[in-house]
Amino acid sequence: MRTYEKVLLLVSLLTALEVVWSMGEPGEVMVPGSPSNVSKNDKGLAKAVLVATYFFNNQSNDAYLFRTSEVEKAQRQIVKGIRYILEVRISRTVCLKRLGRDLLDCELQPEGRLHQMFRCHFVVLSLPWLDMMTTTSIRCQQ
């Protein structure tokens, strides 16, 4: 690799890291590599949960939309971006999918025949410098 290529690579790596590092809460040090707990009111977490929930709905062939009713565990790991590792409960709402309602306006099904809840493990990768978040893994059980 020529010197200018090395410099370019270094500059782009530093730019990427800088963006990642500045994504944390003020005063928080984010260590690359090891997963750490995310505060429940973290903005990035709320977005990651929503992205994974939309992905779940897109993959499910249920007639109703589901929404995340509880985040049981949330961790964040710095990898190629920020990886959110989530354990959530996701529950059936009263909104029929085909009506295309906004998920955030949908109430959960009351206890009864249509009530259903899954526990899911979601992994969402955030690439802040591309303004992109995608679900990379989803595993659910009843």
Ligand X SMILES: *[C@@H]1O[C@H](CO)[C@@H](O)[C@H](O)[C@H]1NC(C)=O
Binding residues for ligand X, rule: CB under 6 A, are 37, 54, 58, 73
Pick 73 or 139: Cβ nearer ligand X = 73
Please report the sign of the dihedral spanned by the C-alpha atoms of residue 110, residue 111, residue 115, residue 116.
positive
| Least distance in angstroms from the C-beta of 54 to ligand X | 6
CB of 37 to ligand X, least distance (A): 4
- Nearer to ligand X by C-beta: 20 or 52? 52
Identify the sign of the CA torsion 27, 32, 38, 41.
positive
Residues 6 or more apart whose Cβ sits within 8 Å of residue 96 = 63, 64, 65
Q: How far is 1 from 14, CA to CA, in rounded Å?
A: 18
Which CB sits closer to ligand X, 54 or 118?
A: 54
The CB-of-59 to ligand X minimum distance in angstroms stands at 8
